[in-house]
Structure 1
Amino acid sequence: MKFAIIAAGDGLRLAQEGVTESKPLVRVRGEQLIDRLIRIFIENNATEIVVVCNVQMHDVTSHLRAIQKNGLNGVSVPLRYVVKSTPSSMHSFYELRNYLRGEPFILTTVDTIFDEDEFHNYVLSFQERVVHGADALMGVTDYIDDEKPLYVGVDNSMRVTGYYDDMQEETRFISAGIYGLTETSLTILSSCIEKGERRMRNFQRAMVAAGLQIEAYLLTQVFDIDHVSDIEKANEVVNNHTYPCEDKVLLIQRALCYSPNSEEKDLAILQEISRLFAHSKMISEEALIDSLASGSLSGLAESDDLLAEYNIIISMARSPMVLDYLDKLEKRGVRVFNPSIGVRACQRSNVDRVMRNEGLPFPPDEGNEGYWVKRGDASAQRKDDICFCLNKDDVEKAKLAFNQRGIIDIVTQAHVKGDVVKFYGVEGTDFFRYYYSSVDTETKFGDEVRNGSPHGYSFSSSDLQADAERLSRLLQTPIYGGDAIVKEDGSYVIIDFNDFPSFSRCRIETTRAIGELLRLKTVHSQNTSLKRECRNGN
């Protein structure tokens, strides 16, 4: 799906109140408004992002040029932008029209503040509604914080019946300024421009008059950044989604040998998670191994007892030595995420065995499209840990090569044709995201290219979520990711499952979900302790 951003306003009211940055570069919780939207759109599977900004804001143009060249937060961005000053938002929209043809798209202004999880659900709903004949899905809200709100009339099925400058008897909502549209709307847009219309609300009225099927989607608190007070309010709204914790937390970055081509991404997610806590320290897995080998942890804590210093450990570690040590700490009451037992359970051959035993969708043993031979004792650490073979003879040669390297635990899967889908989740929090594999998705060795460009085969993401969540519980790995192949008929198989991926395309949302996981586990731990005390008291 395409996404579009109108960033061509002059930000005059903010400038009059002393804000020196161009509005798209104003920061909310340390993140520039334009970056925030681009990140969110990338996290929602944007195939292309188009932006219009005005001629006067040279800093915005330079910023977009840098993103187009270097990506954002280490992630490639399919970005196009138009530099043109326009008399209205509708004219800005018109300047983007030719980039928005061919598939549904979502449009908003650069300063729109909304809940990211709600927006994700809105995107999924828009995709579903389009399949069932909707021409548009318009975000609406009952939170009124606008100097000139546009009131929206809807019927009992949330179909839009009209747009009004003043509150009417049948209006419960106002426009949230988030527009999910199909190509049909662009014809109406051109007609409005030809008639000399200037306001987006008149474009929306024209869609109703044309008889388009326009549906409304309720969002909670949505508002624009028009004044300095709005920036302060936005910071409060965004910060309300974090879960500040007074515990002292140790974060362990995965060793380079277990993180090929992903070291910076692993570091980035841990840095984001560290913001949840008032007191945290980050170390590398290599440093912890050195400390354990030397028998001294004084570089990590005030004493050689990590238990005395940290009661929560968030770990990406995979080395046997560190897992053994974390296991000892867990038995003494330290909360570790992911637990050492879960990390060990994600050994590829064990994942394969669990999926077979539990009836989860796994790749077949036999096929006509080739085979994958993978080391089963650990995750892939180098390119030849995963080999594609054309036939059974090549499979045997690949196994022999593994044996010569001392690897006897091997998994063989038949190749499955279809879309490669990468999924990410945090158990028990309803957080689940999936992305089609492409040039800008996280990958270790580029094996996904064998399946070609994704076709976008329709499938049940809720079923995939349920299967992934079930697997995460079986493996005791609450922070997880994996890969699936979606076949042309909509069925799928899970081909890989990992503990604690980098979450590079949904880092902020993942952090919030991990904060929620910690809160839920803390409440559960407290309730368990209380029940134990009650039993002992009786």
Structure 2
Amino acid sequence: MKFAIIAAGDGSRLAQEGVTEPKPLVKVRGERLIDRLIRIFMGSNATEIVVICNEQISDVASHLKLIQDEGLNGLHVPLRFVIKSTPSSMHSFYELRHFLRDEPFVLTTVDTIFDEREFHDYVLSFQDKIAQGTAALMGVTDYIDDEKPLYVGVDNVMRINGYYDTPQADSHFISAGIYGLTAPSLDILEACIEKGESRMRNFQRALVADGLRIEAFPLTKVFDIDHIDDIRKADEGVNNLSSCCKGKTLLIQRAACYSPNSEEKDLAILQEVGCLFDDAKIIGEGDFFENFSTYNQLISAESVGSVNAYYQIISMARSPKALDCLEQLEQRGMRVLNSSVGVRACQRSNVEKVMRENHLPLPPDEGDDGYWVKRADAAAQSKEDVCFCHDWAEVEKIKSTFVQRGITDVVAQAHVKGDVVKFYGVEGTNFFRYYYSGDDTETKFGDEERNGKPQYYPFSSSDLQTDAEKLACLLQTPFYGGDAIIQEDGSYVIIDFNDFPSFSKCRKEAAKAIFERVKLEVECSPKTSFNEKCKDEVDGCS
């Protein structure tokens, strides 16, 4: 894969503020911006790196010639550069187009600051997406530190459907200035230049208008350098973009009995999350409990106030013993997500209570289309834990079978006709995805079949996200999933809500959102947890 860098600007704003070096040669943590990008691109197996630089700034061209001749950091660089001043970034891109037709390529400006680890994942994802027919993969971020951000509209599978100068209902992200493109995009670029266009945002709009399959890849914090203060932020940002991965991270996989037909999927999401941390270990919740004394000694060796700020547990555990262990660690200062409090709060009877108290949409108590009787003291562990009944007499009979199994906490809800939608989210990060259960055969117990094939009734996915986020916040469960029924009139009810799903349909994106959520937790005041802060905000809005 090729990489291209636009470095043809004159850095006038930096110069006005007293920065004497050309922007490409400005240093961030002791490394020139142009060198940083070339190093990162070489780490992603670049077949060629193409750069355009300003003909009025000879220092940049001289530096590139040195790299071309002698390499960078002792490594040969397949570098080609063009010396030409251009009126805009789009014109700079246009000047490079002849060198980019034969391979997919990633284009960025010289001053784009991003997490190197995330960028590597982005490149790998782009390669996979190309094989699946995607024409472009655009880096996006929900971190806004731009004077004139370009808002990006995406659907529920992260396909880009619009670019906007102002926020829209579907634009939770802005453009990160990182463009993964293929040859067809160059024809559109040429057409834009012929029409007199000069802004990259209009080129991106043209890609959408042409009907190409363009997808978005979420990155955490991405920013560029336009002012002298941005250099300071970049110095801090490069050091802290992955701050929460500095230190040990324990990931706990839930026991098989709490993971019916989903053990491999649960393990897969933990493995994906673990790859984002420097020192991560996955352990089963049974082993976690058996080895609790080891972790207890580790915490005992530290005072409560000085527990390593970057030591955390990411947990799927649900057993009472494991939750008791986690609670003890939390009381001594350990950061745990999802917390023991949150997991316990997801007891079905409590979820129903919280939904009623906060006027969230849940199924009615009575109806003409049958009922569902559900185990309410814990998540379903077998097909017998969720039963359909045709009438209330059958409900009473089923309840008695639950009692015979030792389960006295049950809920009964009227059956609701409509499309079954499964949703997944990471509260506080804008990550939210939903899928129609009838689109494939993936299911735990097959109960969704009673609603039949989806009719795709139109509904407000943003409203569903708002309600799901509020419920996650109230339950203190940032990693969440659930099920909703979309009715013919567009209204919906939430019929199920769970802590830490396997995110199997959106695993890579979810892992990044989980990583970002841990970072948010790290950044919070030690006196006020993120969940407490969020709960206060919900209370203030109610």
TM, length-normalised to structure 2? 0.60
Percent identical among aligned pairs is 51
Name the structure 2 match of 1:5: none
CA contact (8 A) 1:420 1:451 kept: yes
Q: CA deviation at 1:499?
A: 0.7
Query: Which among 153, 161, 167 is matched to residue 121 of structure 1?
Result: 153
The question of 1:445 aligning with 2:477 is answered no
Name the structure 1 match of 2:472: 472
CA contact (8 A) 2:286 2:322 kept: no
Q: CA deviation at 1:524?
A: 1.4
SS of residue matched to 2:379: coil
**Residues 1:119 and 1:316: Cα distance change in structure 2 (over 3 Å):** farther
Question: Which deviates further from its counterpart, 380-389 or 472-481?
Answer: 472-481
Query: Which among 278, 292, 297 is matched to residue 294 of structure 2?
Result: 297
**Residues 1:290 and 1:164: Cα distance change in structure 2 (over 3 Å):** closer
Distance in 1 between residues matched to 2:376 and 2:487, nearest whole Å = 25
| CA deviations over 1:394-414 (Å, ceiling 9, x no partner) | 211211110110111111011
Q: CA deviation at 1:276?
A: 2.2
Q: CA deviation at 1:512?
A: 1.7
Name the structure 1 match of 2:340: 340
Name the structure 2 match of 1:497: 497
SS of residue matched to 2:257: helix
Matches for 1:367-516 after TM superposition, within 5 Å: 367-438=367-438, 440=440, 443-516=443-516
CA contact (8 A) 1:253 1:282 kept: yes
Question: Which deviates further from its counterpart, 375-384 or 513-522?
Answer: 513-522
CA contact (8 A) 1:481 1:499 kept: yes
CA contact (8 A) 1:108 1:179 kept: no
**Residues 1:523 and 1:304: Cα distance change in structure 2 (over 3 Å):** closer
Name the structure 2 match of 1:54: none
Name the structure 2 match of 1:247: 247
Distance in 2 between residues matched to 1:275 and 1:142, nearest whole Å = 23
SS of residue matched to 2:401: helix
Q: CA deviation at 1:274?
A: 1.2
SS of residue matched to 1:497: strand
The AA in structure 1 aligned to 2:332 is R
Distance in 2 between residues matched to 1:255 and 1:365, nearest whole Å = 33
Stretches of structure 2 that go unaligned for 5 or more consecutive residues are 1-45, 50-77, 80-101, 107-118, 143-149, 164-173, 223-238, 530-542
Distance in 2 between residues matched to 1:453 and 1:468, nearest whole Å = 24
SS of residue matched to 2:481: strand
Name the structure 2 match of 1:72: none
Query: Which among 121, 124, 137 is matched to residue 29 of structure 1?
Result: 121
The AA in structure 1 aligned to 2:427 is E
Aligned residues: 380
| CA deviations over 1:24-79 (Å, ceiling 9, x no partner) | 9x9953975577428xxxxxxxxxx974xxxxxxxxxxxxxxxxxxxxxxxxxxxx
Name the structure 2 match of 1:321: 321
SS of residue matched to 1:400: helix
The AA in structure 1 aligned to 2:139 is F
Matches for 1:348-363 after TM superposition, within 5 Å: 348-363=348-363
Distance in 1 between residues matched to 2:202 and 2:186, nearest whole Å = 6
Distance in 2 between residues matched to 1:458 and 1:366, nearest whole Å = 25
The AA in structure 2 aligned to 1:495 is I
CA contact (8 A) 1:375 1:385 kept: yes
Instruction: Report the RMSD for the aligned CA atoms in angstroms.
Output: 4.5
Name the structure 1 match of 2:196: 168
CA contact (8 A) 1:362 1:493 kept: yes
SS of residue matched to 2:373: strand
CA contact (8 A) 2:251 2:315 kept: yes
Distance in 2 between residues matched to 1:12 and 1:517, nearest whole Å = 35
CA contact (8 A) 1:243 1:516 kept: no
The question of 1:108 aligning with 2:140 is answered no
Distance in 2 between residues matched to 1:113 and 1:32, nearest whole Å = 13
Question: Which deviates further from its counterpart, 367-376 or 432-441?
Answer: 432-441
**Residues 1:180 and 1:440: Cα distance change in structure 2 (over 3 Å):** farther
| CA deviations over 1:300-337 (Å, ceiling 9, x no partner) | 98788798788311110001111111111111111110
The question of 1:270 aligning with 2:270 is answered yes
SS of residue matched to 1:445: coil
Matches for 1:50-89 after TM superposition, within 5 Å: 51=133
| CA deviations over 1:377-419 (Å, ceiling 9, x no partner) | 1100011000011112221121111011011111101110001
SS of residue matched to 1:333: coil
CA contact (8 A) 1:150 1:175 kept: no
Distance in 1 between residues matched to 2:176 and 2:258, nearest whole Å = 48
**Residues 1:473 and 1:442: Cα distance change in structure 2 (over 3 Å):** farther
Distance in 2 between residues matched to 1:337 and 1:350, nearest whole Å = 19
**Residues 1:120 and 1:492: Cα distance change in structure 2 (over 3 Å):** farther
SS of residue matched to 1:387: strand
Q: CA deviation at 1:339?
A: 0.9
The AA in structure 2 aligned to 1:342 is G
The AA in structure 1 aligned to 2:192 is Y
CA contact (8 A) 2:425 2:432 kept: yes
Name the structure 2 match of 1:46: none
TM, length-normalised to structure 1? 0.60
Distance in 2 between residues matched to 1:382 and 1:30, nearest whole Å = 38
**Residues 1:489 and 1:333: Cα distance change in structure 2 (over 3 Å):** same
